[in-house]
Amino acid sequence: MTAQYDLLLAGGTVLDPASGRHGPFDVAISDGRIAAIEPRLPADSARQVLDARGRYVTPGLIDFHIHAYWGVNPFGFDVDPICKASGVTTAIDAGSAGPVNFLGFRRFIAAQTRTRLLAFVCVAQHGVLLAPRELNDLGFADPEAAARAVAEHRDVGVGIKVRVDEPTVQDHGREALRLAIQAGEASRAPIMVHIGYTALSIEEIADTLRPGDVITHCFTPLAPSIVDERGLLRPPVRAAQERGVILDVGHASRHTSFAIVRACLAQGIVPNIISSDLHAFSGSGPVVDLPTTLTKFLALGMSLEQVIAACTINAARAIGWEDRLGRLAVGQVADVAVLELADAPATLRDSVGEELHVDQQLKARATIRQGELVSPAGPAA
């Protein structure tokens, strides 16, 4: 038989929250796109066959919050080695570029990586910075130019980023948030708001945001958090999520507390998006990579379907790319992850040092980007 397909993922369990498909299916790929999803396809129908038995075949993972402006922004790191090894086919930079250096990000970073890179453009001209922070002086805010960068580059720019923590904005967090929303409205795009150690109250932030806007670091232990001193969710946060404001994990080194996650899950608040916030200072932990972050939320009580949705279709919808990303469908670009829930006991940590003992970990065994196997399947664990 003449090979009909370039690559066949055979014998796996397709888990695609966008379609509700969860069961044994083979996935065939041709010319960089998904060509067939069927219960069984002949092995000799493809030039290359990847044995996915005992593994999950999911849409390529989307890491919604990372910092990728390597060599220019102090937070930037080289994304391809980690993303290709962890099932991540799309990563979204969270404000490393502002309007004055966005074109450099586009040409010299996004255009050069195998991982698809998108970006929230910082409302500050030069992007997020270390001390002195980017909006210590509001004269560095340029909402009009940030909005133009997004509006004129829709294939890369997906929204506006602002940090309203006190070291970044000092005592003018309210004005910084207003300027970011101004840019979001001008570009007709969501804004991503970094919380943690804010002088502006969480209640005011939550009340100010529009449907589709994003609170990142939603489980940060840096006061004021989204729960009060008794562990009770602040009511405006629930109201914000109910009207469409998106809660994004943005784990990072300082921004995830298992205790706050447990309190929120117990009160019916589930994060819309799970992301890593990997950056140049992540080191060896506690975040590690996106699959490790997903493993933590599995162990804390979310279902496998919920965590996969939180880094596939939910992330795609948040930026209006649900017709292009986050799903497995015939005709779609073949961005695919092969994952295994492996028996691999480990001790994982949050940002305040609490340990979480797990018996299983979610591991990426293969990453397929535009139909190309960019990270091969590893041995069964």
Is the distance from CB of 144 to CB of 112 less than 8 angstroms?
Answer: no
Q: Is the pLDDT of residue 85 over 80?
A: yes
Q: Is the pLDDT of residue 351 over 90?
A: yes
pLDDT of residue 343: 97
Chain centre distance of CA 61: 8
Sign of CA dihedral 220, 225, 231, 232: negative
Q: Is the pLDDT of residue 65 over 60?
A: yes
Q: Is the pLDDT of residue 1 over 70?
A: no
pLDDT of residue 132: 85
**CA–CA distances in Å: residue 76 to residues 128, 278, 319:** 10, 9, 22
Q: Is 359 exposed, middle or buried (0-12, 13-18, 19+ CB in 10 A)?
A: exposed
Is the distance from CB of 260 to CB of 233 less than 8 angstroms?
Answer: no
Inter-axis angle of helices 143-152 and 173-187, nearest 10:
30
pLDDT of residue 168: 96
Q: Tens of pLDDT along 114-142?
A: 999 999 999 999 999 998 899 999 999 99
* Residue 356 CB-half CA count within 13 A: 26
Q: Is the pLDDT of residue 228 over 60?
A: yes
Helices and strands, number each (H, E), in the chain:
11, 17
Give the C-alpha separation, 72 to 70, whole Å.
6
Per-residue confidence at 283, pLDDT binned at 50, 70, 90?
confident
Is the distance from CB of 260 to CB of 226 less than 8 angstroms?
Answer: yes
Q: Is the pLDDT of residue 379 over 90?
A: no
Q: Tens of pLDDT along 299-343?
A: 999 999 999 999 999 999 999 999 999 999 999 999 999 999 999
Give the C-alpha separation, 278 to 258, whole Å.
18
Per-residue confidence at 209, pLDDT binned at 50, 70, 90?
very high
Chain-wide mean pLDDT for the chain? Answer: 96
pLDDT of residue 380: 37
Mode of pairing for the β-strands spanning 33-38 and 26-30: antiparallel
Q: Residue 313: helix, strand or coil by DSSP?
A: helix
pTM of this prediction? 0.97
Q: Is the pLDDT of residue 376 over 90?
A: no
In sequence order, the 6+-apart residues with CB closer than 8 A to the CB of 229 are none
In CATH, 61-318 is 3.20.20.140: yes
Q: Tens of pLDDT along 91-107?
A: 999 999 999 999 999 99
Residue 357 sits at φ, ψ, to 5 deg, of -90, 125
The whole-number average pLDDT for the span 231-251 is 98
pLDDT of residue 378: 43
Q: Is the pLDDT of residue 231 over 60?
A: yes
The whole-number average pLDDT for the span 274-292 is 94
Task: Annotate 36-68 with DSSP letters as a single string.
Answer: EEES---GGGEEEEEE-TTSEEEEPEEEEEE--
